[in-house]
Amino acid sequence: MNFFPASSASSAAVLLLCALCSPLCAQDDQDLEKVAELQKKVHAVVDRVKGAYVFIGGGSGVCVDPDGWILTNHHVAGGAQNWKVRFTGGKQYDATLVGFHPADDVALLKVRNGKDLPCVELGDSDALKIGDNVIAVGNPFMLGNGSWEPTITLGIVSALHVYLDNPGYKDAVQTDAQINPGNSGGPLIGMDGKVIGINGRIDVKRFMNRVNTGIGYAIPSNQIRRFMPHFKAGGRAFGGYLEGATVGECGDDRYENTGELGDGVFIAGLQDDTPASKAGLTTGDILFDIEGQRPYNLNRFHGIVGAWPAGSTVKVKYKRWDAAKKEFAVHETKVLLGDPEKLRAQEAQVGNLYLGFTPSYDFDDLGVEVDEVMEKGPAATAGLKSGDVIKKVGDARVRDWKDFKAALTGKKAGEKLKLVVLRDGKEMDLTITAEERKIEGMPEKQDE
């Protein structure tokens, strides 16, 4: 029973401490000073970034270069080539759509003959921690039209590396900073005053209205930085993927030597003569580190590789079972993530038709697997979903993308195409209506 008096002694010490402290250190004033410090930081960020905010149509954007490179969402600016944009305060400029990534909802505009424009630099989104304060700048409900004064909202990072389908945000930053219709394309800013994401998506329809529910998503700055050269080169950018490999989640006991769930992902199947096989990977390898990021499940794996542009070469660490030693050995290699020329050729092959989905890599000659379905596109309207395998177009059996393109030859916009699709092991019929491609692969030539 010795501990009993000791514990009451310690609580007496705490009481004494409280009694001593509150009159001495004038807690109220100290607290107000602390809050004033934080307040100063918020003001400093607002002052630094406000001028670089851009009004684009009913949405938002942010200038990231004094020559007038403006980042926004593809769903804000992807629908037209030429834009009149306004900076905070109302000064108007002509801007041209240069590069875009529809699947990840990013677009890059260029102010024509832009010089010495206010801008903010891209920050390091991988340095973010959950709970960090972030600031969103935007134009919700177009409240800033006329006065050209954007809306500032403050919140925290709610989650990191969020993988979302359709449009496929690969590596989203989730925030509770209030973003609403009109914030799209606007910047999410860290407390260092740098852009750490482009706000693009919210969970909406509260009270039957399109308003924020405390869940907003931004495309991270590090992903955007990697895509920047591709955007600036013009035209469509493509996300990376591990060509020629089928990847599975660890922890499934149907497979041996695949580790625990969360260890990484493993190669379940591999085609010869593909980047993955050339890199020395083989069936059963567990990929546990891609450029310092851990692919703890399949979504995260697709998120990591998709947040790199196609054509990038990334460092991959993997574990391979050493049968002699009866343990995993760690290896490292470099893998090419898809070929943008090939992807562009695939795009061009369907000519002027727009179907609103991207095919997955060819595998097993079973058909064309649907990778990503664009929002509101013909494929989405037809009810096509990511993961579906297209087996037939009309009466023509399609085994791969080549067959699919052949089946589309001679078809025109507005034409109805009957598809036979394999979903969850069942075949179903869908009708897709091809649309005319609205945006050319390459935009008009720049002034410079």
Task: Give residues 408-447 in contact with another protein (rule: CB under 8 A).
Answer: 413-416, 433, 435, 438-439
Q: Mask 73-92, x = binds another protein (CB under 8 A)?
A: x-xxxxxx------------
Element (H, E) at 53: strand 53-56
* Cβ proximity to another protein, 150 vs 309, nearer residue: 150
Minimum separation from the CB atom of position 87 to another protein (A): 16
Looking at beta carbons only, is 72 or 125 nearer to another protein?
72
Of 34 and 334, which CB lies nearer to another protein in the complex structure?
34
The contacts of residue 61 (CB under 8 Å, 6+ apart) are 53, 54, 55, 70, 71, 72, 76, 77, 85, 109, 185, 186
Pick one of 89, 92, 165, 206: the residue that binds another protein (CB under 8 A): 206
Mark whether 105 is an active-site residue: yes
Residue 33, SS3? helix
Q: Dig out the tokens for 134 from the structure.
A: 């972030």
Q: What span, in angstroms and rounded, lies between the C-alpha atoms of 132 and 158?
A: 9
| Cβ–Cβ under 8 Å, residues 390 and 419 | yes
Please give the residues from 125 up to 144 whose contact with another protein meets the rule CB under 8 A: 135, 140-144
Helix (H, G, I), strand (E, B) or coil at 342: helix
> Is position 154 an interface residue for another protein (rule: CB under 8 A)?
yes
Helix (H) or strand (E) holding 151: strand 151-162
State which of residues 160, 191, 211, 268 lies at the interface with another protein (CB under 8 A). 211
Query: Does the footprint of another protein cover residue 295 (CB under 8 A)?
Result: no
Does residue 400 carry a catalytic annotation? Answer: no
- Provide the minimum distance between the beta carbon of 24 and another protein in the complex, in angstroms, as a whole number: 10
Binding mask 212-241 for another protein (x = CB under 8 A): x-----------------------------
What single-letter amino acid sits at 133? N
Binding positions for another protein, 156-185, rule CB under 8 A: 177-182, 184-185
Could you say which of 74, 75, 101, 302 is catalytic? 75
Annotated catalytic residue: which of 105, 171, 285, 371? 105
Question: Which segment (10-18, 119-127, 228-236, 314-322) binds another protein by CB under 8 A?
Answer: 10-18
Which of left, alpha, beta for 140 (phi over 0: left; psi -120 to 50: alpha)?
beta
Task: State how far the Cα of 417 lies from the Cα of 300, in Å rounded to an integer.
Answer: 34
Look up residue 383 and give its two tokens. 């009810």
Phi, psi of 442 (to 5 degrees): -115, 140
Length of the chain: 448
Catalytic residues: 75, 105, 184
